[in-house]
Structure 1
Amino acid sequence: MSEPESEGRRPAEGEPRWLSDAEQQTWRHFLFGSRALIRGIDRQLTRDSNLSAAEYEVLVPLSESEAGMMRSRDLLNFLGWERSRLSHLLTRMDRRGLISRHPCPGDARGLDVRVTEEGRQAIEAAAPAHLAMVRAVLMDELTDQEAAAIDRIHEKMTKRLRELGLD
């Protein structure tokens, strides 16, 4: 919501600091652009590989790890998801044969998540088209300065989210 502030007027204590029209436009462009990109990634992956964006997101760190495995809590922290979301997705991926879950040695409550050969083949098949989409939609459209600005914005936002306890 946008409400113009009088020139030089600061909001009273407890009064919201409304976004200016320019700030509102920036916020909405960022929000809508982020959502459109996520939807586009999901559509591209589903169309080209029969993997959802969430499945791809799980398979990436598993396939990149030396042992092809991660503790479920480490995967949870890496992804920044809610525990129930990851648990439900891992159950579906296990049923599809993309991953397997095993009790963690030395921790009766912990689980190791391992990419299966089928999961490795799925992400290896999906990666080229996904990379082409990421390049076409974002990376090839940015100058080096724009890419660096995105990196700086990300660092500022994640730092502030951590400070506010919202990460």
Structure 2
Amino acid sequence: MAGTRWLDEREMAAWQGFLEATSRVSRHLEQQLKEDAGLSHPHYEILVRLAAAPDGEVRMTDLAEGLFTSKSGLTYQVGQLEKRGLVERHSCPTDVRGVLAALTPEGRDVLRAAAPGHVAAVRAALIDVLEPDELDVVARALGRVGRRLRPPAQETGSSDSGGISTSSS
């Protein structure tokens, strides 16, 4: 294809390393959460976002944007958590069309129990593998990639998880 800037050997090595690392880390974390806490990684992330929010609740549209998922995908995931009694949905008092997802006390307990094992898995799979200066480079580089691909209207949110560590926020 004329005009295509093909990847050179160095660029291809970076791309393939990124693909392998993200795939293996994702699978490792998914397996750890399922085995240790009976949660999928998306379920864990939803619980974390709700735990970090004021009053433990977030508008569904805001939650979808913060989790980088579609509204329909989030609706399905929240529905699964709702069936387990970990999350509940209710109408937004300030907007008739708005729906809030809220963390239940059971959801908070499940998250508290899951977080230590998940953080240990994140450390083992990524954080402790890298040298401190490599962590800084990875954070800057991947942050720049994320910002470049972020939709223009999306605000940058806080990564404060209310004292509960996560893998991706």
State the TM bucket, normalised to the shorter chain.
0.7 to 0.9
Q: Which residue of 1 aligns with 2:88?
A: 100
Match of 2:50 among 49, 62, 66: 62
Rate the CA distance shift 1:26–1:61 in 2: closer, same or farther, 3 A.
same
Cα pair 2:56 2:103 within 8 Å, conserved:
yes
Does 2:125 match 1:130? no
- Show the 5 A alignment for 1:82-121: 82-121=70-109
- Show the 5 A alignment for 1:16-165: 16-162=4-150
Letter in 2 for 1:52: S
Rate the CA distance shift 1:146–1:73 in 2: closer, same or farther, 3 A.
same
Letter in 1 for 2:40: S
Q: Distance in 2 between matches of 1:103 and 1:116?
A: 16
Q: Distance in 2 between matches of 1:163 and 1:87?
A: 21
SS in 1 for 2:55: coil
Cα pair 2:33 2:40 within 8 Å, conserved:
yes
SS in 2 for 1:147: helix
Q: Distance in 2 between matches of 1:154 and 1:23?
A: 15
Cα pair 2:89 2:101 within 8 Å, conserved:
yes
Q: Distance in 2 between matches of 1:155 and 1:135?
A: 19
Q: Distance in 2 between matches of 1:107 and 1:75?
A: 16
Shift of residue 115 of structure 1? 0.5
- Gap runs ≥5 in structure 1: 1-10
Shift of residue 135 of structure 1? 1.3
**Higher CA-based Rg:** 1
SS in 2 for 1:67: helix
The normalised TM-score by structure 2 is 0.84
Identity of aligned residues (%): 37
Higher relative contact order (CA 8 A, sep 6+): 2
The normalised TM-score by structure 1 is 0.85
Shift of residue 156 of structure 1? 1.8
